[in-house]
Amino acid sequence: MSNTESWDRIAARTRSDPPNDVIRYGPDGPTENQLRLIGDVAGKRVLDLGSGPGPAAIVMAKQGAFAIAVDASAAQLERGQQIAAREKVRIEWHQGDLADLAFLRADSIDLAFSGFTISEVGDLGRLFRQVHRVLRPHAVFVFSYEHPMALCIGREAPSSPTSSPRPAVLESYFGEEPLVVERNGEPIVVYQRTIADVFAALRWAGFRVEVIVEPKPRRGEVPEMIVWRARKEGI
């Protein structure tokens, strides 16, 4: 089973365009207008990792950025090219592994962004090292993914129509084996990592963590996503 194949199938049967009016950090999650972690991108070279059809890259291009989108799914990128053409914005598209950034020079990117994708990356340390390499000194990396608690907690049926689903522990928070989750009706392999694991990987790669956000879900008692902003240190 390949995540790329799953995303290709999702792209093939998707007819509606994703919203591209504001950057969204994940399904039913907060927007950049609410969190304000990215800031002004006008005139900047920005990198969208795991772009899918490129809604975030398109938003930033509309705001005056030179956007570069990277995704493993050729079908998702093809959709993105069509949407960008309709929106009359220019995006540089690259198909490949998110950690394979050899096509980018060192110190050439002003901002790196990844929305709800890096949990699909097996070698997180390599990804962080590559992002650190291509970012300009003191530039930021903003990314979101499933909260690790959301991957180990299931939902029991609510006791009443107005109550929230009750959490039930299904997996260990410290689990090391990949999990299979469903997205848009397709199986996707994701990797469990504790918050401490991600923090350590960022520090080893040369980042300073500035912000961690755990957005409160609309319903339920367990955060569904986590958002980080880290700044490049060192050389």
CATH assignment of the domain containing 41: 3.40.50.150
Given this model, what pLDDT does residue 163 score? 57
Compute the distance between CA of residue 129 and CA of residue 153 in angstroms, rounded to an integer: 30
**Residue 171 lies inside a defined structural domain of this protein:** no
Mean local confidence (pLDDT), 183-192: 90
Given this model, what pLDDT does residue 108 score? 98
Please determine, for residue 103, whether its predicted confidence score (pLDDT) is greater than 80.
yes
pLDDT, averaged across the chain: 91
Q: What's the token pair of residue 134?
A: 């291509």
Given this model, what pLDDT does residue 24 score? 95
Given this model, what pLDDT does residue 168 score? 67
Please determine, for residue 155, whether its predicted confidence score (pLDDT) is greater than 70.
no
Given this model, what pLDDT does residue 73 score? 96
Given this model, what pLDDT does residue 153 score? 81
**Residue 187 lies inside a defined structural domain of this protein:** no
Given this model, what pLDDT does residue 172 score? 86
Query: Lowest-confidence range among 59-68, 129-138, 145-154?
Result: 145-154
Provide the whole-model pTM.
0.92
Buried b or exposed e, range 92-115, using 16+ CB within 10 angstroms = ebbeebbbebeebeeeebbbbbbb
Mean local confidence (pLDDT), 76-103: 96
Given this model, what pLDDT does residue 6 score? 87
Percent of the chain whose predicted confidence (pLDDT) is above 70 = 92
**Residue 56 lies inside a defined structural domain of this protein:** yes
Mean local confidence (pLDDT), 80-90: 96
Domain count, the chain: 1
The domain of 91 spans 3-146+194-232
Q: Band the pLDDT of 1: cuts 50, 70, 90.
A: low
**Residue 164 lies inside a defined structural domain of this protein:** no
Given this model, what pLDDT does residue 166 score? 61
**Residue 186 lies inside a defined structural domain of this protein:** no
Q: Band the pLDDT of 157: cuts 50, 70, 90.
A: very low
**Residue 65 lies inside a defined structural domain of this protein:** yes
Continuous H helices in the chain: 3-13, 32-35, 55-62, 74-87, 124-134, 148-152, 195-205
**Residue 166 lies inside a defined structural domain of this protein:** no
Given this model, what pLDDT does residue 12 score? 83
Residue-wise pLDDT tens digits, 42-51? 999 999 999 9
Contact yes or no for 61/42 (Cβ under 8 A): no
Residues 1-7: contacts with CB under 8 Å, at least 24 apart = 1/180, 1/187, 1/189, 3/72, 3/120, 3/188, 3/189, 4/72, 4/73, 6/183, 6/186, 6/187, 6/188, 7/52, 7/71, 7/72, 7/73, 7/75, 7/76, 7/186, 7/188
Residue-wise pLDDT tens digits, 106-124? 999 999 999 999 999 999 9
Q: Is 13 left (phi over 0), alpha (psi -120 to 50) or beta?
A: alpha
Given this model, what pLDDT does residue 19 score? 73
Given this model, what pLDDT does residue 165 score? 59
Please determine, for residue 159, whether its predicted confidence score (pLDDT) is greater than 60.
no
**Residue 125 lies inside a defined structural domain of this protein:** yes
